[in-house]
């Protein structure tokens, strides 16, 4: 273990991964810690609380005091679960994603570095360069005046959504179900911007850069810089966005400017966007190489070591559905409306089916078409339960190419692309 893992690892992740070391470092005086962890022994912890901790001796090892929940990290958010504070990562419980269009307050947060402090839209510029005949430097006002402004409901999902359910565990943020959202984004089409820059022959990939800084504090290191094939970049629903749900972007969701690349891993949707470079090769920025956002190109057994050269880049996200009502492990009467959303990368969803008898039989839901390409689809079905008792509602989506959600997916080393059926426990009275 490194001597001081808390310097690059968040509080919640640190306690989860190294409970003994975290407990020792937090409650033993004299160890340098960031923020309120600076010299955070028992006396310091008490001082931060403004009083002593009478039952300190009974605190479970690894317990993070609730008073240190870092609520200021989630200002403007409602009900999100903080998974890590360095970088900030927070997911939305499934029952809070019931809206057809996700409110800004309930859009998940996935950061790789530290957000920039200066985010004044009036001083922000986007540079478009690389293999282009007409390099551009555009203010946000330039984008708004020179290109058609559009608003689209677009689904963003973290590639690691569902990682918490892998066995053996996969390293990374332990997302359950809530690293997905479909907000209404306003901006200009990336394709229009790139056409104005006049891509040179031979361009094959974009490279995205943001203003966030590396966790180490080194200004020469980028926390993340990913890209997409030029064909994906030129589709009509990839946006350079400056607003969400009719208002400026939330700071933790990329204000004042970001990319929105629906249907592909959320890491492609660069936040705090400052530059787009066009390249004649697959981009090789941070988290584009090695095993980042890649899966083995063949099935592997749980726990297998896979050579790096056998990993391939994740592109479209798989077909998936989410039950947003009723809430898991809730009580209900004999007649219940079950509802939720479904999506499938660049495709549409053709059907969502439910089972309340552990997969022995299935019933078709009412499924809405997407409001535009890249939006999730809303579905619903009133279910009549034959008698009181414990039930599980299983949801299974099938997309336009015939791909169907599995009960469980094959394991992969980084815990990506978990599109296992969503199961909701229901106690019918």
pLDDT band at 86, cuts 50/70/90?
A: confident
- Number of other residues whose CB lies within 10 A of the CB of residue 44: 18
Residue 62 pLDDT exceeds 50 = no
pLDDT (tens digit per residue) in 345-392: 999 999 999 999 999 999 999 999 999 999 999 999 999 999 999 999
- What's the first-to-final CA gap in the chain, in angstroms? 51
Mean pLDDT of 331-347: 97
**Nearest-10 Cα torsion for 166, 169, 172, 176:** 40
**Residue-level pLDDT at 2:** 37
**Nearest-10 Cα torsion for 170, 176, 181, 187:** -30
Residue 297 pLDDT exceeds 70 = yes
- Number of other residues whose CB lies within 10 A of the CB of residue 53: 16
Q: Give the chain's mean pLDDT.
A: 89
Which two tokens mark 301? Answer: 């057994």
pLDDT (tens digit per residue) in 146-167: 999 999 999 999 999 999 999 9
φ, ψ at 72 (rounded to 5°):
-65, -20
Q: Report pTM.
A: 0.86
pLDDT (tens digit per residue) in 14-41: 555 555 555 454 444 333 333 333 334 4
Relative orientation angle of helices 19-27 and 42-49, to the nearest 10 degrees = 70
Enumerate domains of the chain plus CATH numbers: 5-69 (no CATH), 104-313 (3.90.420.10), 320-428 (2.60.40.650)
Cβ within 8 Å of residue 386, ≥6 positions away: none
Q: Are strands 125-130 and 273-279 parallel, antiparallel or unpaired?
A: parallel
């Amino acid at each position: 273990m490194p001597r001081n893992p808390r310097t690059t690892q968040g509080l919640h992740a640190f306690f989860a991964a190294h409970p003994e070391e975290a407990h020792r470092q937090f409650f033993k005086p004299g160890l340098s810690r960031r923020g309120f962890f600076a010299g955070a022994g028992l006396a310091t912890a008490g001082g931060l609380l403004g009083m002593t901790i009478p039952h300190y001796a009974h605190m479970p090892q690894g317990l993070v005091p609730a008073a240190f929940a870092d609520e200021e990290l989630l200002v403007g958010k409602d009900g999100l679960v903080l998974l890590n504070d360095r970088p900030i990562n927070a997911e939305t419980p499934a029952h809070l994603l019931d809206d057809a269009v996700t409110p800004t307050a309930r859009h998940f947060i996935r950061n790789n570095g530290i957000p920039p402090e200066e985010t004044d839209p009036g001083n922000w510029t986007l540079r478009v360069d690389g293999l282009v005949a007409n390099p551009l430097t555009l203010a946000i006002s330039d984008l708004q005046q020179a290109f058609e402004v559009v608003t689209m409901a677009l689904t963003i999902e973290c590639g690691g959504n569902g990682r918490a359910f892998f066995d053996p565990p996969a390293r990374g943020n332990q997302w359950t179900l809530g690293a997905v959202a479909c907000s209404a984004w306003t901006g200009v089409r990336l394709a229009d911007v790139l056409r104005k820059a006049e891509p040179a022959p031979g361009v094959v990939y974009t490279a995205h850069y943001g203003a966030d800084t590396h966790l180490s504090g080194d200004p020469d290191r980028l926390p993340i810089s990913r890209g997409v094939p030029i064909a994906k970049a030129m589709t009509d629903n990839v946006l350079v966005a400056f607003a969400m749900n009719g208002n400026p972007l939330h700071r933790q969701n990329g204000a004042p400017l970001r990319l929105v690349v629906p249907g592909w891993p959320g890491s492609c949707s660069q936040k705090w966007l400052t530059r787009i470079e066009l390249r004649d090769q697959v981009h090789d920025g941070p988290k584009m190489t090695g095993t980042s956002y890649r899966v083995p190109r063949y099935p592997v057994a749980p726990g297998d070591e896979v050579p790096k050269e056998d990993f391939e880049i994740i592109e479209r996200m798989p077909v998936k559905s989410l039950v947003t009502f009723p809430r898991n492990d809730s009580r209900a009467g004999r007649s219940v409306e079950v509802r939720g959303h479904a999506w499938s990368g660049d495709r549409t969803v053709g059907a969502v089916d439910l089972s309340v008898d552990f997969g022995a039989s299935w019933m078709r839901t009412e499924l809405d078409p997407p409001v535009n390409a890249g939006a999730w689809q809303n579905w619903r079905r009133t279910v009549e339960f034959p008698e009181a008792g414990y039930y599980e509602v299983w949801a299974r989506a099938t997309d336009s190419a015939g791909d169907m959600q599995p009960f469980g997916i094959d394991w992969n080393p980084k815990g990506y692309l978990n599109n296992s059926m969503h199961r909701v426990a229901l106690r019918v009275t």
